[in-house]
Amino acid sequence: MPAARDLSQAMAALPGMTIDRQPEETTVAGRPFARVDFSGVGLFRSTWITQVRCHLVHFNLMANTPEQLDSLRLSLNKIVYAGDKAAESPDPTCIDNYAKAENIVSKVDPELAAPTFTPIPLRIIVSPTAA
C-alpha cells in the first residue's frame, strides 16, 4: 500500500527514528491492512492502514516498551465487523456530495491544537435499525 511505504520513508528520514518492521500486508477482522512498525525517542509505534472505499483508515498504536506494543497489537485481533455480514459489501454505500448543510444534524469544529490544520472530510450515515 503506497500510504504505508510513504509513512515508512518519512519516518526513516527523521533523526532518531528507526523502522522496526518494513510495510507488510496483514489482516484484521477479515480486512486487509498494511502495517509499519517504527521507534524512536523512547517510544515504540505500530501503524495499521486500510482502505474503506476511497478513504484511508489507520490505527496508530504507541507504547513505552516493545512488550506493551505487542500486547496492543494482539488486541486488534478482538476487532469484529458489526454490520450486516450477509451484505454484498461490508462498507456502507458512499453517497457523493451528501455532506451538505441540509443533511447535517450536528457539526463540531475541532479545536486547533497545532499551528497547522488539515480538514479531513468525514461521512457518517445513520439509519434506523430494523425492528
Contacts of 93 (CB under 8 A, 6+ apart): 125
pLDDT exceeds cutoff 70 at 114 = no
Let me know how long the chain is.
131
What 8-state DSSP symbol labels residue 1?
-
Report the pLDDT value the prediction gives residue 96, as an integer from 0 to 100: 76
Torsion, Cα 26 31 34 35, to 10 degrees, reads: -60
Q: What confidence score (pLDDT) does residue 129 get?
A: 54
CA distance 79 to 34: 16
* pLDDT (0 to 100) of residue 110: 72
pLDDT tens profile 66-109: 999 999 888 888 877 666 667 666 666 777 777 788 888 888 88
Tell me the domains of the chain and their CATH numbers: 2-78 (3.40.1000.10)
Lowest-pLDDT range of 1-5, 16-20, 89-93: 89-93
User: What secondary structure does DSSP assign to 18-87, as a single string?
Assistant: EEEEEEEEEEETTEEEEEEEEEETTEEEEEEEEEETTEEEEEEEEESSHHHHHHHHHHGGG----S-TTS
Query: pLDDT category, 131, cuts 50, 70, 90?
Result: very low
pLDDT of residue 22 exceeding 60, the answer is yes
Whole-number pLDDT of residue 16: 92
Could you give the percent of the chain with pLDDT greater than 70?
Answer: 76
